[in-house]
């Protein structure tokens, strides 16, 4: 690795959250089992196609953390077995596998551990979920329409929770007040093979706001005017 600062994104397929960091010259590491298997470097981006606790993923993460150059960590653990929107299926899932939610929480705690080990600001993200009762209440909540000043296409509702640490700075809301009421496209997303990825995709406006609030250059909504 070069001497650039590093940002780590766990359970991240799209790389939307990483984009502002790449544009600013950070090296980024994206870990998600939906990436091609193995470790693949493309410019500033390293994609790790494994679950977080795969030995190869830990090798890459340990090497990055050992440099002391990790500036930020974000985790997006799967919400399928945790989100309260799927509560009607919890009983059947527990009958099939009594440890199903423990396994889901294991990924959440891996995100926390990696964030804490890095010494950098970090968050783990999920919709309203069982994490609040199985671990602790979230530190912050937001909805995509709160940051439409950065991306007008994010004018939709989706209450999202953040569990944070390492001095994470929650960005100020920055709305485009010229837009109409936000829509509910997430709830109306039709069934498909990609439905889970579509519903869990990171809003671009939030990604930019988090970067500006947590990178060395600090930012407030007044500066965007």
**pLDDT per residue over 108-156, tens digit each?**
999 999 999 999 999 999 988 788 888 899 999 999 999 999 999 999 9
pLDDT at 13 over 50: yes
pLDDT over 90 at 193, yes or no: no
| The Cα angle at residue 223 between residues 215 and 210, in degrees rounded to 5 | 30
Residue 191 confidence (pLDDT) above 70: no
Residues 49-80: tens digit of each pLDDT: 999 999 999 999 999 999 999 999 999 998 76
Per-residue pLDDT averaged across 188-206, rounded?
Answer: 64
Q: Is residue 33 part of a domain?
A: yes
Query: Is 222 inside a domain boundary?
Result: no
Q: Judge whether 1 lies within some domain.
A: no
Residue 167: C-alpha distances to residues 91, 115, 170, 176 (Å): 37, 11, 10, 28
Residue 73 falls inside a structural domain: yes
Q: How far apart (Å, rounded) are the C-alpha atoms in residues 128 and 158?
A: 9
What pLDDT shows up at residue 99? 60
- Asked if residue 221 is part of any domain, the answer here is no
pLDDT of residue 198: 46
Q: How many domains does the chain have?
A: 1
Q: Tell whether the model's pLDDT for residue 94 goes beyond 80.
A: no
pTM for the model stands at 0.86
- Give the pLDDT score at 222: 44
Residue 99, domain member (yes or no):
yes
Task: Give me the CATH number covering residue 116.
Answer: 3.40.50
Please indicate, yes or no, if residue 223 is contained in any of the structural domains. Answer: no
Domain that residue 206 falls in: 6-215
Q: Is residue 172 a part of any domain in this protein? A: yes
């Amino acid at each position: 690795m070069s001497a650039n600062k590093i940002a780590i994104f766990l359970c991240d397929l799209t790389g939307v959250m990483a984009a502002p960091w790449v544009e600013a010259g950070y090296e980024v590491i994206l870990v998600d089992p939906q990436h091609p298997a193995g470790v693949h470097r493309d410019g500033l981006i390293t994609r790790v196609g494994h679950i977080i606790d795969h030995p190869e993923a830990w090798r890459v993460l340990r090497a990055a953390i050992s440099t002391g150059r990790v500036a930020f960590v974000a985790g997006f653990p799967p919400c399928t077995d945790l989100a309260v929107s799927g509560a009607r299926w919890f009983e059947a899932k527990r009958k099939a596998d009594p440890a199903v939610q423990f396994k889901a929480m294991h990924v959440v705690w891996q995100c926390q551990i990696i964030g804490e080990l890095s010494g950098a600001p970090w968050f783990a993200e999920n919709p309203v979920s069982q994490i609040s009762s199985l671990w602790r209440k979230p530190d912050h909540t937001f909805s995509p329409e709160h940051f439409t000043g950065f991306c007008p296409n994010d004018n939709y509702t989706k209450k999202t929770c953040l569990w944070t640490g390492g001095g994470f700075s929650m960005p100020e809301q920055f709305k485009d007040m010229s837009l109409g009421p936000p829509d509910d496209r997430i709830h109306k997303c039709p069934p498909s093979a990609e439905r889970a990825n579509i519903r869990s995709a990171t809003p671009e406006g939030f990604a930019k706001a988090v970067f500006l609030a947590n990178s060395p250059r600090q930012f407030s909504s007044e500066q965007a005017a």
